[in-house]
Amino acid sequence: MNTVPEDRGGQIAASSSSTATPASDAQRVLPTLLFVHGACVRDAGWWWSQMIGPLAERGIPSAAVALPSCGETGDALGDLTADVQACQEAIREVDRPVVLCGHSYGGVIITEAGAHERVTQLLYVTSVMPDAGQSQAEMIGAEPAPWLQPGKDTVGVDPDMIRDYFLQDCDEATVEAALARLTRQSLAPFGQPPCEIAWRSTPSSYIVCTQDLATPAETQRARIRAGAHHVEFDAGHHPFLSRPDAFAQLLADEIKAARAATP
């Protein structure tokens, strides 16, 4: 297990290339990181926007995937299959190997989409790692969390509880911008298990966010599958909003470590 010390200081929705590839990686091109966001939010590119520059400085281009189930690709809300297809389309648009980073619900998507032959690594962030036949609803329990606002076919979230439990370590401007991007999402994906289980054959890391008030650290640790690299990071549920530079360093370290271990 690694612990990152605290510092003080789509359908690709957003992307960046970089000319700052470190000399040590000159003979091997670093992969592109595709970020897959969590539930009940829209504007995928905004959620990842603070990470583009810090990752590019470390030689890693990155992008965010827009999800049909959150209404980011059209009027109709898609299911898990549609979200996986959107992720796979983003993979096909990239001209280099791909690392998938799934945040929260996004972990379900990368578990299936990560079976694509171009994917070299999976990064799970305060997420779930479902096995065959397991949906997210099955893994987190039948009773809805107190911040969820389920309807007949969609689900939303309580903004006040998102502020207090999901964004407590973000500055006020970021909190307000995040709350403005909450949305209702199709209920369908939460009851659907992934059709393929990529973490069984693809190098994977699970990043425990130790200050997450919505999914406590001990709950996250219990979700880590055998064989996954376990890393701890001092942040709440959205480390890419609260500590983007330190989180970019963590991701770069995980990517380079996996590359070093690959013949």
The predicted structure's pLDDT at residue 144: 81
> Which pair of structure tokens corresponds to residue 99?
């690392």
The predicted structure's pLDDT at residue 25: 43
The segments of the chain whose pLDDT lies below 50 read 4-10, 14-27
The predicted structure's pLDDT at residue 261: 87
* pTM, two decimal places: 0.90
The predicted structure's pLDDT at residue 2: 55
CA-based end-to-end distance of the chain: 22
DSSP category for residue 223? T
Domains and CATH numbers, the chain: 2-260 (3.40.50.1820)
Note whether 255 and 33 are within 8 A (CB): yes
The predicted structure's pLDDT at residue 29: 85
The predicted structure's pLDDT at residue 27: 43
pLDDT digits (tens, 9 = 90+) for 173-212: 999 999 999 999 999 999 999 999 999 999 999 999 999 9
